[in-house]
């Protein structure tokens, strides 16, 4: 008998799980959007390098060759007695197995002013808002025609923060500087990291290289700078320092999607507690995968909130459900770390794969091809390649349009 | 001495005028957006055929090779005594000559319910809202899984309405029908025209062909159907008939941009009154061009609100200002009509140029190349060509993402 599986969230984890389960289960996939967002490239939407539509892919399009059902909506509650989940559309979906893959949201760590005065970057809407905010401030500077300064601060020295800071610096140095105005010269870009170095998941050597590359692009990198408060035009640090920041972009951390509270599953406020089998503790018919799942690695620490973890877990959980159907014993998940990478700017990137370290042009090309490869859909691959080629050849960024998504 | 020229509006007219005047005047171009919108292709953004960023072009990018200044903002008032215009940013711009090129807005002709219950399509935001509305209703139908019907009505049988209705029909027949759901079968598409035939600016033969082509695509075409009221889910006609319409798209007419009221220039509520010289009546230092200008043709009727009129007027006004600077007599504008065209669907279009009439595949290719040619910027040309090629080869429409622009 084919079990009924409901999957909450159509990100890298949810969509991979849906496709993997299609042959053995009646799957219903739920997401609040009708498209999947390619989060690793959102920063390029923010910095005018990519069209917003290129980092989104219609979920129904991705499911064409399957029998998977799709429902647009958000889960409101889980009825564990009747094994069903209620959506905000009032629809009730019955399941034999539930997979929670709701992803993550910006984590402000309770720091004052982050929610009010900084911009997150977890959705196409947020990415476009960052673009609009930067371009609007730039238009203000152009109007002033004086030496008014304008600072953009990116908080968080992980891959997201590094890539965002580098791309903003390139936007400033290139396209904005080519406009017939002096305004670009008055823009400062900061990258702020609470720890002692950028990209802490990579080797110290690559961290140092990343800092050097960013500084070459004109980014002021501050390490050991713990944010105490974000104000409308200023960031205060816990050691008493401060910097001006008309625009603060918060890339300092993420936590499990807030919707998980509605599901009333065991969690620590940041992730849902799971066993080694990826079953939610005490709820053997519920699995959690990806950013929202509190799975730990061999070191006992949470696995990183990255796409490869979610996709490996998705395929693993599909097999676990197949085992449950066949009454076979479950296995324990272990993550195969394929390495980490970040792009900094034109011909500048860092890659670390199983001890192999790449920097500069070769790392940059590796980053480009890997992201193109994982981008969903031929149309997005072609469109992104066209935008990238254009940006590369013209040193321009064409997608500067101020469009505010509600 | 170089005169100071302020141009309000950076559409086809304003931008053309700015470039044409750059060599002889100190030009400041004003627009409420930081991008120009390619209005003729907005309907493809609405029907998931094109990315929103592809029909927009950064104004500063278009001005790179000029000395033209750009200001983002809207005019609040004109001080005729001091010859200056005040923007909503509080900036005051002095001018010797003012060119009003603010374009047009949706005209509801005072019909009840149009403003509340129909969607306009005069901006990228409005185009994306139509896309979102159609796709959201489609998701509702998918959820119902029954034979609930859903009607989309396009009001207005001019080129905009014809192109929109044809594209919605193709979206329904192709991509939505390929999803693994039966929902697309329950969508109806109406095209409503108050007059006796579609595309009244073309010959009767082409009107008949257009109607036949649309009906082949499954569009129900209603002529001599004057809208009396638009309700949330229904359209009432003045003869007592009615049709269901969950989504009503208003393409029935446009009028001068509402901002023209703030300028306190002579106007009839729809257009600004201009002389044959395109000077605003009684204000010889103010010119009006494009949709907002009440210039008439040889037949005494207003010229059509289309891009070629605006661009011819822009180049003409640039020369008029040159004549004024040199104390030469002004000339009278006359419009050279290069013809009219509309696309209906794949291999279906109608073209009429000086008595030459084309239909079918050849007209369709003519339409494609002409629109690509006039699209601003190489990146947009490449991106649009890529999207079109993809749509053509796969019969799909990839830009189905629900993104609401505020």
Is A99 a domain residue?
A: yes
CB-based contact A98:A324 (threshold 8 Å): no
Is B405 a domain residue?
A: no
What average pLDDT score do residues A216-221 get? 97
CATH of the domain at A234: 3.50.50.100
A348 in contact with B, Cβ within 8 Å = no
Read off the pLDDT band of A243 (50, 70, 90): very high
Same domain, A128 and A262: no
Same domain, B380 and B231: yes
CB-based contact A394:A370 (threshold 8 Å): no
Six token digits for residue B355: 């008595």
* Residues of B identified as active-site: 163
Q: What is the mean pLDDT of chain A?
A: 93
pLDDT at A201: 86
Residue of A nearest to B61 (CA): A179
What average pLDDT score do residues A247-267 get? 87
pLDDT at B406: 53
Residue of B nearest to A380 (CA): B398
Intervals of chain B under pLDDT 70: 405-406
Read off the pLDDT band of A255 (50, 70, 90): confident
B-facing residues of A in 58-77 (CB < 8 A) are 58, 60-61, 63-64, 66-73
**Residue A228 pLDDT exceeds 60:** yes
Is B313 a domain residue?
A: yes
CA distance to partner chain A, nearest, from residue B387 (Å) = 7
pLDDT at A374: 84
Q: Which residues in chain B touch residue A141, judged by CB atoms under 8 angstroms apart?
A: none
Cβ-defined contact of A89 to B33 (cutoff 8 Å): no
Same domain, B145 and B239: yes
CB-based contact B160:B107 (threshold 8 Å): no
Residue of A nearest to B178 (CA): A64
**Residue A199 pLDDT exceeds 90:** yes
Is A233 a domain residue?
A: yes
Nearest beta carbon to residue B143 from set A91, A387, A405 = A91
B52 in contact with A, Cβ within 8 Å = yes
Read off the pLDDT band of A405 (50, 70, 90): low
Task: List the beta strands (DSSP E) in B242-303.
Answer: 242-244, 247-250, 254-256, 279-280, 283-288
Six token digits for residue B385: 């060509």
Same domain, B139 and B220: yes
Helix axes B378-394, B360-374, angle to 10 degrees: 150
CATH of the domain at A95: 3.50.50.60
Q: State how far the Cα of B31 lies from the Cα of B33, in Å rounded to an integer.
A: 5
Instruction: Say what the pTM is.
Output: 0.93
Residue with tokens 């647009």: A72
Nearest beta carbon to residue B51 from set A35, A54, A142 = A54
Same domain, A100 and A14: yes
CA distance to partner chain A, nearest, from residue B365 (Å) = 22
What average pLDDT score do residues A78-89 get? 95
**Residue A406 pLDDT exceeds 60:** no
Read off the pLDDT band of A222 (50, 70, 90): very high
Residue with tokens 């993997």: A20
CA distance to partner chain A, nearest, from residue B35 (Å) = 6
Is B295 a domain residue?
A: yes
Nearest beta carbon to residue A143 from set B89, B387, B401 = B89
Instruction: Identify the residue among B60, B69, B127, B406 best suited for mutation to test binding to A, counting A beta carbons within 10 A and taking the highest.
Output: B60
* Residues forming beta bridges with residue B338, ordered by sequence position: none
* Total domains, chain B: 2
Is B45 a domain residue?
A: no
CA distance to partner chain B, nearest, from residue A179 (Å) = 6
| Helix, strand, coil percentages in chain B from 3-state DSSP, rounded to 5 | 35, 25, 35
Same domain, A246 and A177: yes
Same domain, A165 and A23: no
Question: At which of B325, B348, B380 does a domain end?
Answer: B325
Question: At which of B267, B290, B325 does a domain end?
Answer: B325
* Residues forming beta bridges with residue B106, ordered by sequence position: B254
Same domain, B137 and B238: yes
Nearest beta carbon to residue B178 from set A64, A71, A404 = A64
Find all residues with CB under 8 Å of A27, minimum gap 6, and list them: A5, A6, A7, A18, A21, A66, A67, A68, A69
Cβ-defined contact of B58 to A398 (cutoff 8 Å): yes
Range(s) of the domain holding residue B87: 4-32+73-106+254-325
Is B353 a domain residue?
A: yes
Same domain, A134 and A147: yes
- State whether residue B30 is helix, strand or coil: strand
Same domain, A151 and A91: no
CB pairs under 8 A between A and B: 163
CB-based contact B305:B158 (threshold 8 Å): no
B-facing residues of A in 169-208 (CB < 8 A) are 175, 178-181
Six token digits for residue B147: 């034979």
Render the burial of A312-332: b for 16+ CB within 10 Å, e for the rest: bbbbbbbbbbbebeeeeebee
pLDDT at A380: 84
A52 in contact with B, Cβ within 8 Å = yes
The percentage of chain A sitting over the pLDDT mark of 70, rounded to a whole number, equals 99
Same domain, A288 and A182: no
Q: State how far the Cα of A172 lies from the Cα of A179, in Å rounded to an integer.
A: 10
Interface predicted TM-score (ipTM): 0.90
Is B12 a domain residue?
A: yes
Residue of A nearest to B48 (CA): A53
Strand B56-58 with B104-106, pairing:
unpaired
Same domain, A365 and A216: yes
A126, A133, A163, A352: the catalytic one is A163
Taking alpha carbons only, the member of A166, A153, A168 closest to residue A400 is A168
**Residue A362 pLDDT exceeds 80:** yes
CA distance to partner chain A, nearest, from residue B58 (Å) = 6
Q: In which element (H, E) is residue A87 found?
A: strand A84-87
Residue of A nearest to B36 (CA): A401
């Amino acid at each position: 008998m084919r079990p009924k599986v409901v999957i909450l969230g159509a990100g890298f984890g949810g969509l991979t799980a849906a496709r993997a389960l299609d042959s053995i289960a009646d799957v219903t996939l739920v997401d609040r959007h009708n498209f999947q967002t390619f989060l690793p490239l959102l920063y390029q939407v923010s910095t005018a390098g990519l069209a917003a539509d290129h980092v989104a892919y219609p979920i129904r399009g991705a499911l064409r060759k399957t029998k998977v059902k799709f429902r647009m909506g958000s889960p409101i509650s889980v009825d564990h007695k009747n094994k069903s989940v209620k959506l905000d559309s009032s629809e009730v979906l019955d399941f034999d197995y539930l997979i929670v893959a709701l992803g993550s949201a910006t984590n402000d760590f309770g720091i004052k002013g982050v929610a009010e005065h900084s911009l997150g970057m977890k959705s196409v809407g947020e990415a476009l808002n960052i673009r609009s905010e930067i371009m609007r401030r730039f238009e203000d500077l152009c109007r002033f025609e004086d030496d008014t300064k304008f600072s953009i601060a990116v908080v968080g020295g992980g891959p997201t923060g590094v890539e965002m800071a580098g791309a903003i610096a390139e936007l400033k140095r290139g396209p904005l500087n080519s406009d017939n105005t002096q305004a670009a010269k008055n823009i400062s870009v900061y990258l702020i990291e609470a720890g002692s170095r950028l990209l802490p998941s990579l080797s110290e050597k690559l961290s140092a290289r990343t800092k050097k590359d960013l500084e070459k692009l004109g980014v002021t990198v501050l390490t050991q700078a713990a944010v105490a408060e974000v104000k409308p035009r200023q960031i205060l640090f816990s050691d008493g320092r401060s910097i001006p920041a008309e625009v603060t972009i918060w890339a300092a951390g993420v936590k499990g999607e807030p919707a998980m509270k509605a599901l009333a599953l065991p969690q620590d406020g940041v992730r849902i507690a799971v066993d080694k089998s990826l079953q939610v503790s005490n709820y053997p018919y519920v699995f959690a995968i990806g950013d929202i799942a509190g799975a730990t690695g061999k070191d006992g620490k949470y696995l990183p909130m990255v796409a490869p973890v979610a996709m490996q877990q998705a395929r693993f959980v599909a097999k676990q459900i197949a085992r449950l159907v066949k009454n076979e014993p479950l296995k324990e998940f272990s993550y195969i770390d394929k390495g980490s990478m970040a792009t900094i700017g034109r011909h500048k990137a860092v890659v670390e794969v199983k001890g192999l370290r790449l920097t500069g042009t070769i790392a940059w090309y590796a980053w480009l091809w890997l992201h193109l490869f994982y981008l969903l859909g031929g149309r997005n691959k072609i469109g992104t390649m066209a935008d990238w080629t254009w940006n590369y050849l013209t040193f321009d960024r064409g997608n500067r349009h101020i469009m505010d998504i509600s």
